[in-house]
Amino acid sequence: METQLYQIKDPEKDAAILQKAAEILRRGGLVVFPTETVYGLGGDATNQNAAMAIYAAKGRPSDNPLIIHVATPTEAEPYAVTSDTYYRLARHFMPGPLTVILPKKDTIPLSVTGGLDTVAIRCPDHAVARALIQAAGVPIAAPSANRSGKPSPTCAAHAAEDLTGRVDMILDGGDCEVGLESTIVKLEGDRGILLRPGAVTPEDLRRIIPNLSIAPAVTAALGEGERVLSPGMKYRHYAPTAPLVLLEGEETHVRAFLIEKAGEAGVGILCFDEEIPVMPKNATLFPVGKRADLETQAHRLFAALREADATPHLERLYAHLPPMEGLGLALYNRAIRAAAHTILHVT
Ligand code: AMP
Ligand code: MG
């Protein structure tokens, strides 16, 4: 399959490109598009064949459900059983990096929801994504636009690396602002369960859902044979080629440990920007931002891991264990998966 690649900055000026993309979606084809979280691999959410094509292009098991992207919160009505809590969340966080799981209606084929009777709804906060949904006139089912087993793409080049020849079109709208996938919350009546942390934090959500619970799999390793609430939790997550070890402990101890390791052959370090000057000159560093700047760390994490994977002769990677509060929880969740839960306490 030939993949067309277009840069798109302004949905109004580039309306002709959006029309082409919309036509592809309406006839069951696949379009990669930018959102504020990560790039999405989109197909018509009401078309069973489009869903199958998404799974095939990603190399993803078809029981791992897709998120449905709509342009405004009320556009979820034909597809999901909405509630007061949904609209209260929508008022605060939509459009934005929040996905809400609701009971599904028959308009969404079971192949899109991996056979579940619930559906994931998101309203992306990105001009190109919203213009594309509107131009298509159908909701867009989209997982992250990476091949299964790779990190989510935070720029068009990452998506192109993974999906060229497997999709009809890639829309390049520049770097994704957030850089981590959306927060996922499942609503059951007025109860809410956090299934995946993201840029909308548990603290944000508790202002609307005071009794929000956090699924154990968000922070812990899954026990053998344990049941999961979100199918995505059970799959082996992306891990870099060089095994990643996360470090926790006092700042001075961790820094001394890193300086020592950085001098060794085959070692790469996902370091804070302020650590760059103190590291040995020959160190292989992948800076992720300042220690206190979790936004930048979220923005850079997946790109840093892709860079590490593209660096020859790396045998081990070290990174700081993120804090478990605020946006830190989303970083923590992605980091422990990439590290296969390997945490080293440095004393
Ligand atoms: P991705 O878009 O690649 O980040 O993947 C979407 C994730 O959303 C999947 O891995 C699922 O775990 C989750 N998800 C989508 N739909 C549902 C649903 N109906 N119930 C629970 N989790 C869902
Ligand atoms: Mg994904």
Taking only the tens place, the pLDDT of each residue in 107-158 is: 999 999 999 999 999 999 999 999 999 999 999 999 999 999 899 999 999 9
- Give, in order, the Cα–Cα distances in Å from 281 to each of 17, 47, 53, 269, 278: 46, 54, 47, 13, 9
The residue-averaged pLDDT of 160-167 equals 98
Taking only the tens place, the pLDDT of each residue in 218-237 is: 998 655 555 656 665 555 57
The ligand that comes nearest to the alpha carbon of residue 217 is 1
CA-based angle 306:233:83, to the nearest 5? 115
Residue nearest to atom 22 of ligand 1 (CA): 230
DSSP string, 90-134: HHHH-SSSEEEEEEBPTTS-TTTTTT-SEEEEE----HHHHHHHH
Phi-psi region of 174 (alpha: psi -120 to 50; beta: other; left: phi over 0): left
Residue nearest to atom 9 of ligand 1 (CA): 232
Looking at the DSSP bridge assignments, the partners of residue 140 are: 44, 69
Residue nearest to atom 11 of ligand 1 (CA): 232
Pocket of ligand 1 (CB under 6 A): 64-65, 67, 101, 113, 116, 118-120, 143-144, 181, 184, 195, 230-232
Distance 64 CA to ligand 2 centre (A): 10
Distance 13 CA to ligand 2 centre (A): 30
40 is written with which tokens?
């999405």
- Stated as kind and residue range, the H or E segment containing 284 is strand 284-285
Distance 146 CA to ligand 2 centre (A): 7
Q: Which atom of ligand 1 is nearest to the CA of 118?
A: 19
Mutate to test the pocket of ligand 1, among 33, 98, 101, 144 (most ligand atoms within 8 A of CB): 101
Distance 319 CA to ligand 1 centre (A): 27
Burial of 347 (0-12, 13-18, 19+ CB in 10 A): exposed
Distance 345 CA to ligand 1 centre (A): 32
Distance 67 CA to ligand 1 centre (A): 6
The residue-averaged pLDDT of 47-59 equals 96
The pTM assigned to this predicted structure is 0.95
CA 73 to chain centre: 20
| Residue from 266, 280, 262 nearest 319 by CA | 262
The ligand that comes nearest to the alpha carbon of residue 51 is 1
Q: Which of 50-64, 168-182, 215-229 has the highest mean pLDDT?
A: 168-182
Mutate to test the pocket of ligand 1, among 33, 54, 187, 195 (most ligand atoms within 8 A of CB): 195
pLDDT at 27: 98
234 is written with which tokens?
């059970």
Sheet holding 267-270, edge to edge: 284-285, 267-270, 316-320, 244-248, 343-345
Taking only the tens place, the pLDDT of each residue in 26-46 is: 999 999 999 999 999 999 999
pLDDT at 339: 93
The ligand that comes nearest to the alpha carbon of residue 152 is 2
d(CA 300, CA 312): 20
Residue nearest to atom 15 of ligand 1 (CA): 65
